[in-house]
Amino acid sequence: MAKRRPAGRPGRERHGLVLSLIVFCLIIISGRLVYLQVHAAPAFAEKAQSQRTRDIEIAPKRGTIYDRDGDLLAVSREARTIYASPRFVTDATGTAEAFSRVLGGEPATYAERLQRDSGFVYIARKVDVEHAEAIESLGLSGVGMLKDSRRTYPSGELAAQVLGFVGIDDVGLGGLEQYYDSVLAGEPGSVLAERDPFGRPIPGGVIHYEDPVNGDDIMLTIDKDIQHTAQVALQQAVEKWSAAAGSVIVMDPRNGEILAMASVPGFNPNRFADADSVAYRNRPVTDVYEPGSTFKSIIAAAVIDAGLFEPDSMFELPPTLQVGGRRIKEAHPRSTVHWTLTQIVTNSSNVGAVKLGMALGKQPLYDYLDRFGFTERTGIDFPGEAVGHLPPVQQWSATSIANIPFGQGVSMTSLQLARALSAIANGGELVTPHFLLQAPEGSGTETRWPKRRAISEEAALATREVMKAVVTEGTGGAAAVEGYEVAGKTGTAQKARTDGRGYAGGKYIGSFSGFLPADDPQVLVIVIIDEPKGAIYGGVVAAPVFSEVAMFAVSHLRIPPTSIQPAQGPDGETATSAQTP
C-alpha cells in the first residue's frame, strides 16, 4: 500500500512561495528606495529646484566715456528688460495688444512670442523706465522685468566713428566701445530666485545673490569742442564741393594725443541700426589713399636729414623730366626755372620732387620712408587700423623712383601721414597716436605711448621753415591763421582705380596737412576731401577747412599767437601727374 503524503504540505509550499515573492518585492522596493533616496536624490532635488527657481543674470553698468575735460561722450542710463513666461500668460491676445500700445510694434509679433512653448521669452530689452513702469502698472500675468541699462550718446553724431556703439547685450561692436570693451563692460552678477506657479518672484525667496561688477570709466584725449568744430567745418566743405566723403584729424604732435577725428558721412550711434554701414568707417584709420603732393614735405625732410641739401640749395628744373620711359611733367606748363629746395615744395613741383628722390637713391629713400612709419601701422588704440602700401625696393619698377617722391605708387592712411608730420613738428620724434588719456589703475590698460627718432632735430627745424613758405608764399595761402605762423603742405592726388591698374578719370583727393604755431607746434591738422566737384586742388577745397579748425583750436586751447602774421598766398595747387603726353 502506497504511503499517503502528509496533510498540509501543499499549503506550506504555497505559503513559502508567497513569502518568497513578498521578500523579493521588498528587496526590489528597498533597492528602489535606496536608489531614489541616495543615488538619484540630488538629481531630483535639482529638478525640483529648477521648477521653482530661476537663475537670472544681472547686467553690470557699463563704464562712462568722458572727453579730456570731463564732458560725457557715452553713458549708460537705467533701463528695464521686459520678459514673459508664456505658460503663465492667461490672455496672450490682450497682453500682446497691451505691449503694442505701450511699446509700439505689431501685436502679432508679441503674440507669437507669448505662444511659444517656453518658460522664458524676451519681450523688449533696454526699455526706458517710464515705459517699463507703464507695463508694470497693468499687472499682466506671466510678465516680469529685470533691471538693465541702456547705452546713450548725449551728443548724438559727435565723434560717432571714434566712439562706435554697443549691441543689445552691451558688447562693443565698433570704435573705442569695442577696443576698450574689456575695461568698460564689467562683470555680470546673478540672482537665484524662487518663483510661484505663475512665474512671479516669491517675496523673501532669493536663494543666492551675486552683485555685478560695474565697468570702469575712461577719459579720452578728444576735446568735445574741437571735435564739434571739425565735424561742422568738414560737413560744410563736403556739401560745398559735392564730395563723396571727407575726414579731419586734429592731433597734438608733441605726444600723439588726438584732439579730434571726424569723418563724413556720419551717423547717430543712438540709432546706429538705421545708418548705412559705410558711415561707420573712421576714415583716417581705415581708409588708404595716395597722398600726392603732401608727400613732398616728407621727401624734403629726408634729403635735408641725409645732408644732401639745405632749404636754399638751388636746382635747375626743366619743364619735364624723362625717367625710365615715363615723362614727368608739372600740372601747369612752365619753362626751365632755377628754384631752391624751398621753392620746389612751395610751388609743389613734381619735377623738383623727383630730382630730390633720385639724389637720395632708391634704398635710402625707402629707408627714410620706413623711418617715418610708412611701412607699419601707427599702433593707435583703435580696432581695424589699415596700413598703406610701400613696396620694397626689390619690387620697384624703373619708374617708381619717379612716382613715389610726389606721392604716387605709394598709399597710406591720413593717420600715418599725421604721425610722420608730427616728427617734423616736434623735433624729429615719431609718436604713437592715441585716444586714451586716463584709465583706472589696475584695469590693465596701457597708457604709455612709445616714441622713436625719425630724423634729427636740426633737419626737422629746417623742414618746418620750408613748410612755412608754402603758406606765406605758395599754394597753401588759404590755410593761413591770423596771428599765427602755419607750416603745411597742399595735396591734390589722382585716385587709383579700384577695378584695375591706373587712375580713375576725373577723381581726385584734395588735402591740406600742417601744424601751428610753426616755431612751437602744438596743433597738427590734416584735412582730406574725397572726390570734390567744381574744384580739385587741396589749396582750394581743404586749406580753408584747415584754417577754420586750426583757428578755433589754438584759441580754445589758449595757445599764444606768434609775433609775425603770415601773408596771404595764392590758392592754387599743382595736381600730381606722371602721365606721358
Given phi > 0 = left and psi -120 to 50 = alpha, else beta, which region is 239? Answer: alpha
Q: Are 529 and 414 in contact (CB under 8 A)?
A: no
CA 141 to mean position of chain CA atoms? 44
C-alpha cell at 370: 620706413
C-alpha cell at 91: 490672455
Residues 71, 233: Cα–Cα separation, whole Å: 21
Residues 476, 526: Cα–Cα separation, whole Å: 13
Q: Are 313 and 256 in contact (CB under 8 A)?
A: no
Active-site residue identified among 149, 293, 414, 511:
293
Name every residue whose Cβ is closer than 8 Å to that of residue 413 and which is 6 or more positions away in sequence: 284, 285, 286, 287, 288, 289, 378, 385, 386, 387, 388
397 is catalytic: no
Helix (H, G, I), strand (E, B) or coil at 3: coil
Grid look-up 579748425 returns 549
CA 513 to mean position of chain CA atoms? 22
Pick from 562, 576, 432: which is nearest to 509 by CA?
Answer: 576
C-alpha cell at 220: 579720452
Residues 517, 524: Cα–Cα separation, whole Å: 9
* Torsion sign over Cα 286, 292, 294, 295: positive
In 10 A of CB 447, how many CB atoms?
Answer: 12
Residues 569, 581: Cα–Cα separation, whole Å: 30
Q: Which residues pair with 294 in a beta bridge?
A: none
> Side chain identity at 505, as an amino acid letter?
G
Residues 163, 73: Cα–Cα separation, whole Å: 8
Residues 203, 195: Cα–Cα separation, whole Å: 9
CA 521 to mean position of chain CA atoms? 27
Residues 62, 187: Cα–Cα separation, whole Å: 9
In 10 A of CB 212, how many CB atoms?
Answer: 16
Q: Are 331 and 574 in contact (CB under 8 A)?
A: yes
Task: Tell me whether the omega of the peptide bond preceding residue 566 falls within 30 degrees of 0, making it cis.
Answer: no
What does DSSP say about strands 320-323 and 436-438: parallel, antiparallel, or unpaired?
A: unpaired
Residues 340, 109: Cα–Cα separation, whole Å: 74
Residue 170 φ/ψ, nearest 5 degrees: 65, 30
* Residues with catalytic function: 293
